[in-house]
A and B are shown apart, each in its own frame.
Chain A
Amino acid sequence: MTSVTSVAAPVLAAAPLLKLRGVRKSYVTGDIETPVLKGIDLEIGRGEFVAIMGQSGSGKSTLMNILGCLDTPTSGEYSLDGHEVATLRDDDLARVRNRTIGFVFQGFNLLKRMPLIDNVALPLLYAGLDRAQSRTRAQVRLEQTGLGPYAFRLPNQISGGQQQRVAISRALVNDPPLILADEPTGNLDTQTSVEILNLFTELNRSQGITLLVVTHEPDVARHANRLVRLKDGLVTYDGPVEDAHL
Chain B
Amino acid sequence: MNFTQIALEAFRAMGMNKLRTSLTMLGIIIGVGAVVMMLAIGESVRTDINQRIASMGSNLFIIFPGSQTSSGGVRVGRGGMQNLTEGDAQALQRLENVDYVAPVIQRGFQVQSGFSNWNTMVYGVTPEFFSIKAWDTSSGSLFGEMEIRSISRVAVIGQSVATNLFGDFDPVGQTIRIQNRPFEVIGVLADKGSDLGGSDQDDSIYIPMSTARQQVIRQWFPGSVNYIMVQAQSARTMADVKYDLTQTMRVRHRIREDQEDDFTVRDLSAIAEAAAGIATGLTLLLGAIGSISLLVGGIGIMNIMLVSVTERTREIGIRMALGARRSDVLFQFLTEAIVICVCGGAAGVALAYLGTVAISKFSPLQVGMSAFGIVLAFGFSAAIGIFFGFYPAKRASSLKPVDALRYE
Contact B328 A126 (CB under 8 A): yes
At the interface, yes or no: B325 with Cβ under 8 Å from chain A? yes
At the interface, yes or no: A103 with Cβ under 8 Å from chain B? yes
Of the candidates B2, B328, B401, the one whose C-beta lies within 8 Å of that of A70 is: B401
Say whether chain B's binding surface is mostly helix, strand, loop, or mixed: helix
At the interface, yes or no: B324 with Cβ under 8 Å from chain A? yes
Which residues of B in the span 1-35 have a Cβ within 8 Å of any Cβ on A? Answer: 1-2, 5, 8-9, 12, 16-17
Nearest CB of chain B from residue A137's CB, rounded to whole Å:
14
Which residues of A in the span 95-133 have a Cβ within 8 Å of any Cβ on B? Answer: 95, 97-99, 103, 105, 109, 111, 113-114, 118, 122-123, 125-128, 130-131
Kindly state the separation between the CA atoms of A126 and B324 in the bound complex, as whole angstroms: 6
At the interface, yes or no: A18 with Cβ under 8 Å from chain B? no
Q: Interface size on B (CB < 8 Å)?
A: 25
At the interface, yes or no: A94 with Cβ under 8 Å from chain B? yes
At the interface, yes or no: A65 with Cβ under 8 Å from chain B? yes
Contact B326 A94 (CB under 8 A): yes
At the interface, yes or no: A170 with Cβ under 8 Å from chain B? yes
Nearest CB of chain A from residue B77's CB, rounded to whole Å:
85
Candidate in B12, B323, B327, B400 with the most chain A CB atoms within 10 angstroms? B323
With contact pairs A94-B325, A98-B323, A125-B5 given, residues A113 and B16 touching in the complex (Cβ less than 8 Å): yes
At the interface, yes or no: B405 with Cβ under 8 Å from chain A? yes
Which residues of B in the span 93-140 have a Cβ within 8 Å of any Cβ on A? Answer: none
Kindly state the separation between the CA atoms of A92 and B327 in the bound complex, as whole angstroms: 12
Nearest CB of chain B from residue A138's CB, rounded to whole Å:
12
B318: which A residues are within 8 A, CB to CB? 109, 111
At the interface, yes or no: A68 with Cβ under 8 Å from chain B? yes
1/0 per residue B394-408: CB within 8 Å of A? 000000111001000
At the interface, yes or no: A90 with Cβ under 8 Å from chain B? yes
A130: which B residues are within 8 A, CB to CB? 5
At the interface, yes or no: B260 with Cβ under 8 Å from chain A? no
Q: Interface size on A (CB < 8 Å)?
A: 29
Which residues of B in the span 302-350 have a Cβ within 8 Å of any Cβ on A? Answer: 314-315, 318-328
With contact pairs A65-B402, A70-B401, A131-B5 given, residues A111 and B315 touching in the complex (Cβ less than 8 Å): yes
At the interface, yes or no: A71 with Cβ under 8 Å from chain B? yes
Contact A91 B12 (CB under 8 A): no
Nearest CB of chain B from residue A233's CB, rounded to whole Å:
17
Contact A71 B322 (CB under 8 A): no
Contact A127 B323 (CB under 8 A): yes
Of the candidates A94, A99, A113, A170, the one whose C-beta lies within 8 Å of that of B324 is: A94
Contact B323 A70 (CB under 8 A): no
B9: which A residues are within 8 A, CB to CB? 125
